[in-house]
Amino acid sequence: MSTTTTFAARDAVMARKLGRRRHRVDAVFRTLALAATLVGLIFLTSIIITLLWRGLESMSITVFTDVTRPPGSHGGLLNAIVGTLIQTTLGTVIGAPIGLLVGTYLAEYARGSKLGDAVRFVSDILLSAPSILIGLFIYQLMVLPFGGFSGIAGSAALAVIVIPIVVRTTEDMLNLVPNTLREAVIALGAPKWKMITLVCYRSVLPGLLTGVLLAVARIAGETAPLLFTSLGNLTWSVDLTKAMSSLPVTIYAYAGSPYQDWIALGWTGALLITVGVLTLNVVARFALRPRV
């Protein structure tokens, strides 16, 4: 047997051993990934089942038609629901445009600049900052100077949370637009602002809206910043200059109370937030799906 044949046989044996080893490693990691997926699904399913089981106990028309009342009064969550809708909507209206403009600046005007790097760094810090710190910041900025809690302060705290999420999403989406597309539009004589608004934004519109929806889902369940800003209100109030109720704060207060009717309403409020965020995401996916 020649030396060449010997080396070829040895290489073939080593290739088979290496192939079997790769198959074993692949099987191990596939099993671990499947096990992790099953564990996650088990926890997610248990959370949903618990929410449905405990949340549907006190679900009635009164929840949507009556305001929060003292224990034993069979109140509802109308003021908390309306307060959450007002503050979440206002926070998104304030924060989303700012985040969109900052993200556009970072992607289109500040590539490689020191100012852009500084803005990106601050945005990333805000993105990972605990929401309670944002609540304390707005408390010092808008609550103490004006002498009281207010819905405006709560909306401002939520807007600060929205901004870095939209900034990151906008920058990442705009970076996906090919430079050749930009060059083609500029070559036709269009100004840069028109290229951004009419071409780049349209190309990544589903991604931009997804970022806004992620921000809405994030702030809809925030409790800590609202405790320091809008505080909460057990009566009906839509006055943004005064303390305003919200579902997360109401859930926090009710879940820690010793009264069974409040605890049951707290579970119902948690179910409402979960269903609302889930519905928003499902509707958005269907609305933004590509049309053939």
pLDDT computed for residue 7 by the predictor: 60
Spatial separation of the C-alpha atoms in residues 105 and 42, rounded to whole Å: 43
**What is the total residue count of the chain?**
292
- Mean per-residue pLDDT over the chain, rounded: 90
The answer regarding whether domain 61-288 maps to CATH 1.10.3720.10 reads yes
Predicted confidence (pLDDT) per residue in 86-140, tens digit: 999 999 999 999 999 999 999 999 988 999 999 999 999 999 899 999 999 999 9
Could you tell me which residues come within 8 angstroms of residue 88 by beta carbon, excluding any fewer than 6 positions away? Answer: 158, 216, 219, 220
Q: How confident is the model at residue 176 (pLDDT cuts 50, 70, 90)?
A: very high
What is the percent of the chain with per-residue pLDDT over 70, rounded to a whole number? 95
What confidence score (pLDDT) does residue 60 get? 92
Query: Looking at this protein, which amino acid is placed at residue 202?
Result: R
Residue 99 parent element (H or E): helix 78-104
pTM of the predicted structure, to 2 decimals: 0.87
CA distance 91 to 97: 11
The pLDDT tens digits of the residues spanning 230-272 come to: 988 888 889 999 999 999 999 999 988 999 999 999 999 999 9
Q: Is the pLDDT of residue 4 over 70?
A: no
Q: What is the pLDDT of residue 15?
A: 76
The tens digit of pLDDT for each residue in 189-214 reads 889 999 999 999 999 998 898 899 88
Instruction: Provide Rg for the chain, Cα atoms.
Output: 26
- 223 or 234, which is more confident? 223
Predicted local distance difference test score (pLDDT) of residue 25: 86
User: Can you give the pLDDT at residue 161?
Assistant: 96
33 — pLDDT class (breaks 50, 70, 90): very high
Q: How confident is the model at residue 290 (pLDDT cuts 50, 70, 90)?
A: low
Question: Does the pLDDT at position 291 exceed 80?
Answer: no
**pLDDT at residue 3 in the model:** 61
The token pair that represents 42 in the structure block: 């088990």
- What mean pLDDT do residues 28-45 have? 95
Centre a 10 Å sphere on the Cβ of residue 262 and count the other Cβ atoms it contains. Answer: 21
